[in-house]
């Protein structure tokens, strides 16, 4: 039998049900592997082994009680949670010194639904501070290393979750995606990651960055595994005013998923100068594979793609500057004492926030300030409407859009640290989905000559997540890139 | 697009952020470069375009105003840097010396 930590979510849940192994054995196997590899990877900000073992013990008790006919679907399954999501009683830092000792008194809805489904929480994963970044280098608690090459970034901001799943420190992990923060690290670490439609999974308990862009997603070994999590986390929540009251498909993807006739669009604007040749080749080969499986491939155009970076880097910082105003040293988090209350605010925020967060607060404050509002924020909202319209027009012709996740494979730690704009430009292929509010799924489709994973993303129309999961699952049923694991060391 | 140090200081003041001199200079350069890139938004004629102001596909929902369960004051004050008698304690907000 394979090591317990090599099993997929589906295999793990089955093994727990049949009594092949207990949740204690499984949880211990993951905790041992974390002990062994965490010093090299630094995927976690907080580990919670005692709570995890207590949850596992309780799960085992229920699994063994023969009379219990209504066992929760994920009973005894260990997961990891990105540190921007609140879990009651476990500190949530958001990767920031300003929340270093913050213990949430409640759990995020997405987390609570998984807890109700029986999961065991191993710990909280590393993230760029307040999810602002594409490399996890902006965490106040140190950089996460890519399990495929320790000198490379894991991507970000859900880099800790991506590294943890890739290195088999957790079978699945929660992430958040505001501008690509699930899909890009999934791509860099060779795992599968999805972001839902805006309004599909409640944002309640997600420490806010850009409220019109933020989404809760997950990373795992396959689309099949993630479809199970999606079905549990998605759906209306009265605690999130933007949550949509729509039926959620109960997806259990089988081997015989058929994508005959699926219309796949390839946007020319995503194959631009500067894209790594091996990335383009691998993505085009994956599109051909979808065609072999019966999909109809055609070219589509998303003409405003080149404006996604400037639109995002006005709207996201503007929303961040408002959201992060709450960190003032009064109700929670760090306080730097001063006799004067305005000084207290300034000193607290000046020493509690890191460089990238300050940069985005400054940028957003500028864009919203008197005299500049129309030229920057107002114009960005208009161009955002054009980007959304591009997608609506494309989805009149196709069911899904296939594109690279990032122009390159994982870059070297420190490569972009002196030049924030060059880092922002790396987000060009992931930002549009957040600006339009549509769902996306990223999964591995090959490796470059440095043995670094290459990812492709499929984007779908609003609330058409099932189409994305089915297409990705069909691809993964016919290929084995998603089963490759790094030899960490 | 070139920001001045005075503009950087004005924005930092609006954002209630203390910045060191080194940060001010670094942000002056970096924000100027980012705003230079963002300027390409002005190339597009958007006179006829309605701004996208809400991501929700439906109108804002209203709900009945009914009392429900909430966290206790103790739970809410647990994370406070300084709390006393179910209240957050802060430095004086009004300058008492100048009271007439």
Last residue of a domain, one of A378, A400, A423: A378
Question: CB–CB of B49/A382 below 8 Å?
Answer: yes
- Residue where the block lists tokens 């998923």: A257
Nearest to A197 by CA among A182, A214, A221, A175: A214
- The answer to whether residue A400 sits within a structural domain is yes
Q: What is the CATH number of the domain that holds A411?
A: 3.90.1300.10
DSSP characters over A40-85 = HH--EEEE-HHHHHHHHHHHHHHHH-TT-----TTTT-EEEEETTB
Inter-chain residue contact B11 with A369, CB threshold 8 Å: yes
Question: Is the domain of A124 the same as that of A170?
Answer: yes
Name chain A contacts of B12, Cβ cutoff 8 Å: 362
One domain for residues A155 and A93: yes
Q: What is the pLDDT of residue B8?
A: 98
Same-domain pairing of A101 and A55:
yes
Specify whether A222 is located in the same domain as A258. Answer: yes
pLDDT per position as a tens digit, A344-363: 999 999 999 999 999 999 99
Q: Report whether pLDDT(A113) > 80.
A: yes
Strand partners of residue A267: A300
Considering the domain architecture, whether residues A354 and A409 belong to the same structural domain is answered as no
At residue A300, the 3 state secondary structure works out as strand
Q: Which residue from A349, A420, A424 is facing B16, i.e. has the nearest CB?
A: A349
**Minimum CA–CA partner of A419 in chain B:** B30
Domain termination residue (choose one: A322, A357, A378): A378
Mean pLDDT for A374-400 is 97
Average pLDDT over residues A113-120: 98
> Which segments of A89-200 are extended strands (E)?
120-125, 172-176, 192-195
Q: Do B34 and A388 touch (CB under 8 A)?
A: no
In the predicted structure, residue A68 carries a pLDDT above the cut 80:
no
Host H or E run for residue A458: strand A453-460
Q: Are residues A289 and A361 in the same domain?
A: no
Mean pLDDT for the stretch of residues A261-284:
96
Per-residue pLDDT tens digits for B46-56? 999 999 988 87
The answer to whether position A163 is within a domain reads: yes
Complex confidence, ipTM: 0.93
Q: What is the pLDDT of residue B97?
A: 61
pLDDT at res. A252: 83
What distance in Å separates the CA atoms of residue A116 and residue B12, rounded to the nearest whole number? Answer: 44
**A230 and A345 housed in the same domain:** no
Instruction: Label residue A173 by pLDDT band (50, 70, 90).
Output: very high
CA angle A209, A211, A216 (to 5 degrees): 80
The mean pLDDT of chain B is 90
Q: Which of A236, A362, A387 is the best substitution to test chain B (most B C-beta atoms within 10 A)?
A: A362
Q: Any CB–CB contact under 8 A between A239 and chain B? A: no
- If we measure between CA atoms, which residue out of A467, A430, A484, A480 comes closest to residue A227? A467
Residue B99: the pLDDT is 46
Over 90: is that where the pLDDT of A235 sits? yes
Instruction: Report the residue of chain B nearest A199, measured CA to CA.
Output: B56
Condensed to tens digits (0 to 9), the pLDDT of residues B4-51 reads 999 999 999 999 999 999 999 999 999 999 999 999 999 999 999 999
Could you tell me if A316 and A444 lie in one domain?
Answer: no
Instruction: Write down the pLDDT at residue A2.
Output: 67
Q: Is A454 helix (H, G, I), strand (E, B) or coil?
A: strand
Whether A351 and B38 lie within 8 Å, measured CB to CB: no
pLDDT at residue B93, rounded to an integer = 86
Judged by DSSP in three states, A453 sits in strand
Question: Which of B18, B23, B39, B71 would you mutate first to test chain A, the one with the most A CBs within 10 A?
Answer: B18
Q: Is residue A385 part of a domain?
A: no
**Lowest mean pLDDT, pick from A62-76, A317-331, A343-357, A418-432:** A62-76
Residues of A in contact with B11 (CB under 8 A): 362, 365-366, 369
Average pLDDT over residues A199-207: 98
Give the 3-state secondary structure of A235-288.
CCCCCCCCCCCCCCCCCCCCCCCCCCCCEEEEEHHHCCCCCCHHHHHHHHHHHH
Residues of A assigned a catalytic role: 82, 157, 181
Quickly name the fold that domain B5-42 has: Histone, subunit A (1.10.20)
Residue B98 has pLDDT above 60, yes or no: no
In a domain, A488, yes or no: no
Tell me, yes or no, whether A208 and A238 share the same domain.
yes
With contacts defined as CB-CB under 8 Å, which chain A residues touch B27? 358-359, 362
Please report the residues numbered 273 through 332 in chain A whose beta carbons come closer than 8 angstroms to any beta carbon of chain B.
306-307, 309-311, 313-314, 321, 325, 328-332
Mean pLDDT of chain A: 96
Q: Tell me if the bond preceding A157 is cis, omega within 30° of 0.
A: yes
- Total-model pTM: 0.97
Q: A397 and A367, same structural domain?
A: no
The domain boundary residue, chosen from A378, A402, A423:
A378
Q: How far is residue A290's CA from residue A488's CA, in Å, rounded to a whole number?
A: 31
**How many domains does the structure of chain A reveal?**
2
pLDDT tens readout for residues A427-440: 999 999 999 999 99
Same domain, A219 and A137: yes
**8 Å CB contact of A362 and B60:** no
CB-closest option in B31, B76, B79 to A362: B31
* Token reading at B85: 């008698």
Per the structure, the complete domain to which residue A331 belongs is given by: 306-378
Residue A384 covered by a domain: no
Q: In percent, how much of chain B has pLDDT > 90?
A: 72
Does A378 sit within 8 Å of B55, measured CB to CB?
Answer: no
Distance, in angstroms, between B91 CA and closest chain A CA? 5
pLDDT above 70: residue B100? no
Encode pLDDT of A454-477 as tens digits.
999 999 999 999 999 999 999 999
Q: How far apart are CA A342 and CA A115, in angstroms?
A: 41
Query: What confidence tens digit (pLDDT) does each residue in A30-65 have?
Result: 999 999 999 999 999 999 999 999 999 999 999 998
Cross-chain residue pair A332–B52, CB shorter than 8 Å: no
Of all residues in chain A, the percent with pLDDT exceeding 90 is 94
| Claim to verify: residue A100 and residue A201 sit in the same structural domain | yes
């Amino acid at each position: 039998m394979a090591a317990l930590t090599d099993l997929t979510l589906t295999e793990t849940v089955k093994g727990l049900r049949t009594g092949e192994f207990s949740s204690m054995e499984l949880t211990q196997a993951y905790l041992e592997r974390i002990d062994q590899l965490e010093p090299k990877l630094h995927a976690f900000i907080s580990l919670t082994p005692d709570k995890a073992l207590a949850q596992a013990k309780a799960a085992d008790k229920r699994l063994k009680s023969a009379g219990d006919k209504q066992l929760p679907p994920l009973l005894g399954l260990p997961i990891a949670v990105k540190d921007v999501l609140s879990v009651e009683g476990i500190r949530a830092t958001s990767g920031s010194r300003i929340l270093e000792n913050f213990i949430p008194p409640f759990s995020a809805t997405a987390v609570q639904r998984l807890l109700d489904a029986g999961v065991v929480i191993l710990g909280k994963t590393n993230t760029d501070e307040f999810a602002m970044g594409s490399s996890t280098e902006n965490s106040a608690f140190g950089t996460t290393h890519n399990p495929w090459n320790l000198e490379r970034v894991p991507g970000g901001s859900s880099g800790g979750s991506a590294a943890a799943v890739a290195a088999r420190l957790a079978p699945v992990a929660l992430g958040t995606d505001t501008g690509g923060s699930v899909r890009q690290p999934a791509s860099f670490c060779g795992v599968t990651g999805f972001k839902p439609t805006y309004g599909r999974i409640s944002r309640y308990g997600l420490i806010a960055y850009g409220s019109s862009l933020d989404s809760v997603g997950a990373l795992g070994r396959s689309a099949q595994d993630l479809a199970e999590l999606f079905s549990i986390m998605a759906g209306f929540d009265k605690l999130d005013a933007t949550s949509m009251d729509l039926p959620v498909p109960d997806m259990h993807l089988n081997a015989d998923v058929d994508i005959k006739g699926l219309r796949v669009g390839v946007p020319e604007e995503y194959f631009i100068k500067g894209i790594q040749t091996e990335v383009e080749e691998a993505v085009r080969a994956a599109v051909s594979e979808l065609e072999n499986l019966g999909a109809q491939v055609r070219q589509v155009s998303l003409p405003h793609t080149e404006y996604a970076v400037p639109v995002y880097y006005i709207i996201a910082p503007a929303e961040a500057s408002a959201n992060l105003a709450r960190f003032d040293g009064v109700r929670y988090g760090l306080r730097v004492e001063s006799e004067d209350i305005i000084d207290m605010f300034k000193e607290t925020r000046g020493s509690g926030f890191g460089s990238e967060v300050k940069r985005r607060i400054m940028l957003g404050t500028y864009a919203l300030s008197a005299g500049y509002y129309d030229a920057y924020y107002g114009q960005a909202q208009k161009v955002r409407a054009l980007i959304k319209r591009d997608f609506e027009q494309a989805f009149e012709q196709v069911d899904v859009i296939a594109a690279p996740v990032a122009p390159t494979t994982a870059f070297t730690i420190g490569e972009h640290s002196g030049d924030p704009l060059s880092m922002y430009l790396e987000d060009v292929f992931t930002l549009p989905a957040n600006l339009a509010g549509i769902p996306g799924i990223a999964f591995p489709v090959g490796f470059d000559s440095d043995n670094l994973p290459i990812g492709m993303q499929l984007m779908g129309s609003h609330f058409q997540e099932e189409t994305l999961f089915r297409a990705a699952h069909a691809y993964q049923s016919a290929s084995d890139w998603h089963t490759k694991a790094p030899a960490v060391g | 697009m070139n920001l001045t140090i005075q503009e950087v200081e004005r924005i930092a003041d609006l954002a209630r952020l203390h910045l060191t001199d080194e940060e001010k200079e670094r942000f002056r350069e970096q924000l100027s470069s980012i705003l230079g890139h963002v300027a390409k938004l002005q190339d597009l004629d958007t006179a006829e375009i309605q701004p996208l102001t809400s991501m929700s596909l439906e109108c804002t929902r209203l709900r009945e105003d009914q009392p429900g369960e909430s966290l206790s004051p103790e739970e809410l004050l647990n994370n406070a840097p300084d709390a006393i008698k179910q209240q957050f304690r802060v430095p004086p907000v009004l300058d008492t010396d100048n009271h007439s």
